[in-house]
Amino acid sequence: MTDKDKSGYRSDTHMIHGQFRTEKWEYDHHVIPPITASTTFRLDSASRGRQGFVDFGEPKKSAQAMNPVYIYDRLDEPTVGMLEDLFREIEQGESACAFACGMSAISAALMVACHAGSNIVAHRTLYGCTFSLMTNWLPRFGVDVRFVDARDLDQLRGAMDGETRAVYLETPANPTMECLDVAAVKDVIELLNRDRPGKERIVLVADNTFATPWAQRPLELGADLVVESLTKDVGGFGVDMGGMVVAPRRFHKSLRGFRKDFGGVLPPGGAWRLMVYGVSTLSLRVRRQTETAWEVARFLEGHDKVARVSYPGLDSYAGKEVARRQLVDPDGRFCPGFMVYFEVTGGLEEARARCERLVNHIASHSYCITLAVSLGMTKTLVETPGLMTHSVMDAGSQSEAGIHPGGVRLAMGLESPSDIIRDLTEALDGC
Ligand SMILES: Cc1ncc(COP(=O)(O)O)c(C=O)c1O
């Protein structure tokens, strides 16, 4: 079947059948593709081997795509290639490159966009390890990072200069669930890009981990590159790590070159599970988890030990208009997602202590909520960003990022919503 013939089918169907046949690899008798399990590939002549190195990282022309030269797993291999083809399609980009985890995807995207002397302007609320990459590591290589509140477009514009090469944001942001207006940020960038030669153009990089491609396609909204952790709801079962960068064709070769030389390769078995179990069930899981998150967010909003709930589906949510425009499933339905952030009551110290009591109560008494980092699993997870995922940020940076000492992050699983609410009620009563 050609791509044109497939075009009338819906996205959830594509996620099941999308790339399960490939011109790169013959396995026509299998309904599910086999996993490639050889780190190296037989070459029938030195000239074919040489051709493989010469062609490496070049976008495949269709004749080559039919007969690619595979050399060694770290360069390219068919199972990971199928997952990349699938992501190129579902994120609607020109090129996709898979990595060992979300952090290796994020480092690669930023390192290929920047060089020593350039800078990145980032929204100040970010996953703790991304913040650490930007403050502890990139500066060592001469890349400076400036943090702004990217909802304030004047502040964003003011932070950019002739050496800016990337604007980076998470939307919704981890952990506070702020939605950033991708199109508005892109407009600011485009004004600056107007007079710049191609190589100096600023790219907009968006982390789509919290939404997943089911609930948001950042490239459609104006982002140039999408990065995501596949370890989370794309994988869906908490058994594999993975990361993906979807980018314009001009980054195809450099992303693969970066992966070849820095490593961070996704193993074929992981790619296979992410594709066969993860992506094909993503729409079902996100829909169910979103219904649960909505119900739990409403419950929390009505609880007297909860001071504030940040969930894009609530009427009280500050960025309602942006959320409703951006967080939509491929059929156009509003899909505010499976993550909920809330703050318990009390002054700073009191809230910090209450928050700790709450998660400790969950850790020792709850059946269906688990105290653990990560998100997007069949099991509901809870954590306190201030003490855990964002502890790399000092108190000042946490406060600037809107992370409250009494803040709690909940990642919905697939349990019955009433059971989750039951465990939460007991824990709130006990804190
Ligand atoms: C928003 C976001 N981006 C990236 C990552 C990193 O992903 P990984 O753990 O797969 O490296 C995480 C991890 O929690 C995350 O929450």
Q: Compute the distance between CA of residue 422 and CA of residue 416 in angstroms, rounded to an integer.
A: 10
Q: Compute the distance between CA of residue 238 and CA of residue 219 in angstroms, rounded to an integer.
A: 26
| CA dihedral sign of residues 242, 79, 114, 90 | negative
**Does residue 364 surpass a pLDDT of 80?**
yes
Smallest CA separation from ligand 1 atom 9, residue: 102
Residues 156-175 have a mean pLDDT of: 98
**Does residue 411 surpass a pLDDT of 70?**
yes
**Where do the DSSP E strands lie in 113-242?**
119-123, 144-148, 164-170, 203-207, 225-229
pLDDT tens, residue by residue, 181-225: 999 999 999 999 998 998 899 999 999 999 999 999 999 999 999
Q: What per-residue confidence (pLDDT) applies to 74? A: 96
Smallest CA separation from ligand 1 atom 14, residue: 374
Q: Compute the distance between CA of residue 36 and CA of residue 360 in angstroms, rounded to an integer.
A: 43
**Does residue 23 surpass a pLDDT of 80?**
no
Average pLDDT along the chain: 95
Every domain of the chain and the residues it spans: 3-277, 283-429
Q: Compute the distance between CA of residue 87 and CA of residue 102 in angstroms, rounded to an integer.
A: 14
**Does residue 22 surpass a pLDDT of 90?**
no
Q: Compute the distance between CA of residue 213 and CA of residue 246 in angstroms, rounded to an integer.
A: 11
**Does residue 65 surpass a pLDDT of 70?**
no
Q: Which residue among 232, 233, 265, 339 has the greatest number of ligand 1 atoms within 8 angstroms of its CB, and so is best to mutate?
A: 232
Distance 295 CA to ligand 1 centre (A): 25
Residues 362-384 have a mean pLDDT of: 98
91 CB within 6 A, ligand 1: no
> What does pTM read for this prediction?
0.97
Residues 6+ positions from 385 with CB-CB distance below 8 Å: 128, 174, 175, 341, 403, 407, 409
Q: Compute the distance between CA of residue 224 and CA of residue 248 in angstroms, rounded to an integer.
A: 7
What type of residue is 127?
Y
Q: What per-residue confidence (pLDDT) applies to 8? A: 83
Residue 59: pLDDT band (50, 70, 90) is: confident
Lowest-confidence region among 16-30, 35-49, 119-133: 16-30
Residue 93: pLDDT band (50, 70, 90) is: very high
Distance 374 CA to ligand 1 centre (A): 8
What type of residue is 389?
T
Q: What per-residue confidence (pLDDT) applies to 7? A: 77
Contacts 24+ apart (CB under 8 A), 84-88: 84/244, 85/18, 85/19, 85/22, 86/15, 86/18, 86/19, 86/275, 86/279, 87/213, 87/244, 87/246, 88/246
Q: What per-residue confidence (pLDDT) applies to 1? A: 60
Backbone angles phi, psi at 411, to 5 degrees: -115, 115
Distance 390 CA to ligand 1 centre (A): 12
Residues 376-405 have a mean pLDDT of: 96
Residue of 29 and 395 predicted with greater confidence: 395
Residues 8-32 have a mean pLDDT of: 82
* CATH architecture of the domain with range 283-429: Alpha-Beta Complex (3.90)
Q: Is 374 helix (H, G, I), strand (E, B) or coil?
A: coil
Smallest CA separation from ligand 1 atom 15, residue: 127
| CATH number 3.30.2320.50 is the correct assignment for the domain at 3-277 | no
Q: What per-residue confidence (pLDDT) applies to 19? A: 66
What are the beta bridge partners of residue 63?
A: none
170 CB within 6 A, ligand 1: yes
Locus of tokens 């869906």? 236
Smallest CA separation from ligand 1 atom 16, residue: 127
**Does residue 4 surpass a pLDDT of 80?**
no
229 CB within 6 A, ligand 1: yes
Count the Cβ atoms, other than its own, within 10 Å of residue 379.
16
Q: Compute the distance between CA of residue 413 and CA of residue 247 in angstroms, rounded to an integer.
A: 30
Residue 63: pLDDT band (50, 70, 90) is: low
